[in-house]
Chains A and B, each alone.
Chain A
């Protein structure tokens, strides 16, 4: 029951305390308005990055403080503000609405809901620009953030508090990796924030519905600025997302934040800078475009235990043109982040999905955070894949190959196939260990070359339904003992014998090949 009297009393008290004397406010007048940029005379006390109020209820951001005018960018209403209108300073910088309430919601960079699910009631605010944690407040990255993607978790491991760049041409599956990673955080106690910067509204709607269908919105907030939003909103979006992430990090929680994508962010900032007549540099980007991204990504951190031990893991995405990673923005962001996942359209088109180029992708800090078991068995993976690729190029020149080479090639191909993975089909750590153990053993020689992917999926299904005890026995944080390895391989062999037996003609061919392989093994021995 709502007590009307209490509310009335409360209101009366509040109103009684308000000073309604005529107030003196500094104001300015608009000298120029065009392309969303304002030049304002007056406003002597305004600060850099301060929020301005324009007559008619529009908001603007003060960015250029000059001798006799202030340059500002409008968040909305650029066709309604005109010469001579009044502008007021508000005395505060831009703030983002934060709080648990934002999880499951789609909001704009100022924290206003866009999903039609009602207003937000949280009163907590955080400044959009905030200094990164100090050196002494930081801890060591020591806990893995599982993406659920075998190629990444085995060879390019990501730790909580790391900044790992996802880079590649358009249509190579950059967003798919980020979305898969968010989906894989279900039940992992990681809060996810997806920041869209200048994206098409249609693709964003698709991502939101994917997250919703897979039950990921419960722990995810989408901060969105679409391609038709005012440029300043696109510019603010990543900082707002980061402010929300910091709110959770300083509470000791682990947060994953995806910036999709920073090349559009740089373009938005370039637009703003050029319109504000700031001097331009390489590729017409302003001089501080490096600082633009470094101050954002520096806010991703792992806090020390004394500071609560929270973390922000950042997955910035950068789009390259024709695979050129030596362009301005890609090189900048590569040098800021702790590693990159490099996606190639050539790989993507030849069916390797996720199209991760294992040679060019690195993770500079994730190795120490990787599960012990995976580290133990994936050590050789990168080397043998590199060897296979070298051999595969060589193979194109001649068809007469000795048995040993053929076997290496066949194994390499199966290894590559093992790393192929369908979208939204994430593996758990234990399943990854099984796949890695099998692909590194002699067992693969029994599996027909083109069947590797179906085999892997079948094997995991089989283990999940029939051998859950075996999966439970694998401890990702301990090493894999020889005994356990044998157990896993035995179970896998059982499955191979059942399935390969059904395969008819191909089966026979395969057996012939397999015989050869075994002979060699004997010869070697």
Chain B
């Protein structure tokens, strides 16, 4: 579990280019992670979800739609 908590988990809808990967790496390292594991999951629709420790940064289309649904 320790390994899992120390590594950020990043979910993307499709393969990202090098520049984006660099940005993501910088983002997760700034928050105390050793690195990131990547997963491609088209079902999130687009955007990105980053799991770091006990926080989720949800910037996916699916997540935003869910938050719209919650507030309407």
Interface residues of A (CB under 8 A from B): 11, 14-15, 18, 20-29, 31, 41-44, 84, 86, 88
Q: Is the CB of B4 within 8 A of A15?
A: no
8 nearest CB pairs, A to B = A22-B59, A42-B54, A20-B64, A27-B56, A25-B56, A18-B71, A24-B57, A18-B68
Nearest CB of B to A13, in Å: 11
Q: Are A27's CB and B68's CB within 8 A?
A: no
Number of A-B contacts (CB under 8 A): 56
Q: Is the CB of B54 within 8 A of A27?
A: yes
* CA gap between A22 and B48 in the complex, in Å: 9
With A31-B1, A42-B53 known as contacts, the answer to whether A23 contacts B72 (CB < 8 A) is: no
Residues of A within 8 A of B51 (CB): 27, 86
Whether A44 contacts B58 by the Cβ 8 Å rule is no
What are some 15 contacts across the A-B interface (CB < 8 A)? A14-B72, A18-B68, A22-B47, A22-B58, A22-B59, A22-B64, A24-B55, A25-B55, A25-B58, A26-B56, A27-B56, A41-B1, A42-B5, A42-B54, A84-B4
| 5 additional A-B residue pairs with CB within 8 Å, beyond A14-B71, A22-B57, A29-B54 | A27-B51, A27-B56, A29-B5, A44-B54, A86-B51
Contact A27 B71 (CB under 8 A): no
A68: min CB distance to chain B, Å: 10
Least CB distance from B43 to A in Å reads: 13
A26 with B72: in contact, given A31-B1, A41-B1 (CB under 8 Å)? no
- Which of chain B's residues has its CB closest to A45's CB? B54
The complex places the Cα of A195 from the Cα of B72 at a distance, in Å, of 33
B20 at the interface (CB under 8 A from A): no
Given A25-B56, A42-B54; A15-B72 close (CB under 8 Å)? yes
Q: Which residue of A21, A25, A29 contacts B4 across the interface (Cβ within 8 Å)?
A: A29
Q: How far is the CB of A85 from chain B (nearest CB, A)?
A: 12
The interface centre, meaning the residue of A11, A20, A43 with most chain B CB atoms within 10 A of its CB, is: A20
Chain A residues near B4: list those with CB within 8 A. 29, 84
Please indicate the chain B residues that have their CB under 8 angstroms from the CB of A28 in the complex. 54
B2 CB to closest chain A CB, in angstroms? 10
Q: Which of B1, B56, B57, B72 has the most CB of A within 10 A?
A: B56
Q: How far is A31 from B58 in the complex, measured between Cα atoms in Å?
A: 22
Inter-chain contact B67/A18, CB cutoff 8 Å: yes
Does B35 sit within 8 A of A, measured CB to CB? no
Q: Is the interface of B mostly helix, strand, loop or mixed?
A: mixed
Closest-CB distance, A491 to chain B (whole angstroms): 68
Query: What residue of chain B has the Cβ atom nearest to residue A21's Cβ?
Result: B59
Kindly provide the distance from the CB of B4 to the nearest chain A CB, expressed in whole angstroms: 7
Instruction: Provide the residues of chain A in CB contact with B57, threshold 8 Å.
Output: 22-24
A4 to chain B, nearest CB (A): 16
The residue in chain B whose Cβ has the minimal distance to the Cβ of A28 is B54
- The distance from the CB of B59 to the nearest CB of chain A, in whole angstroms, is 3
Chain B positions within 8 Å of A44 at CB level = 54
A10's nearest neighbour on chain B, judged by CB, is: B72
Q: Which residue of B lies closest to A27 (CB)?
A: B56
Minimum CB–CB distance from B68 to chain A (whole Å) comes to 5
Q: How far is the CA of A15 from the CA of B68 in the complex (A)?
A: 7
> With contacts A14-B72, A18-B71, A41-B1 known, is A26 near B64, CB below 8 A?
no
B13 → A minimal CB distance (Å): 14
Chain B, 29-72, contact with A by CB distance < 8 Å: what is the 0/1 string?
00000000000000000011001011111110001100110011
Docked Cα-Cα span, A41 to B51, in Å, equals 14
A-contact bits for B1-24, CB 8 A (1 contact / 0 none): 100110000000000000000000
Query: Could you say which residues of chain B place their CB within 8 Å of the CB of A15?
Result: 68, 72
Chain B residue numbers with a CB within 8 Å of A18 are: 67-68, 71-72
Q: How many angstroms between the C-alpha atoms of A98 and B19 in the bound complex? A: 53
Nearest residue, chain B, Cβ from A17? B71
Q: How far is the CB of B70 from chain A (nearest CB, A)?
A: 9
CB distance from B53 to the nearest CB of A (A): 7
With A14-B72, A15-B72, A41-B1: A20-B55 Cβ-Cβ less than 8 Å: no
Smallest CB–CB gap between B71 and chain A, Å? 5
A20–B67 touching, CB < 8 Å:
yes
The listed residue (A21, A26, A31, A41) touching B55 by CB distance below 8 A is: A26
CA distance in complex: A28, B5 (Å) = 10
Residues of B within 8 A of A14 (CB): 71-72
Whether the pair B54, A43 counts as a contact (CB closer than 8 A) is: yes
In the complex, the answer to whether B55 meets A27 with C-beta atoms within 8 Å is yes
Tell me whether A23 and B67 are in contact (CB under 8 A): yes
Which residues of B sit under 8 angstroms from A29, Cβ to Cβ? 1, 4-5, 54
Q: From residue B30, how far is it (CB to closest CB) to chain A in Å?
A: 14
Instruction: Return chain A residues, CB-CB under 8 Å to B48.
Output: 22
Which of chain A's residues have a CB closer than 8 A to the CB of B63?
Answer: 22-23
Chain B residues, Cβ within 8 Å of A20: 64, 67-68
Q: Which residue of A lies closest to B59 (CB)?
A: A22
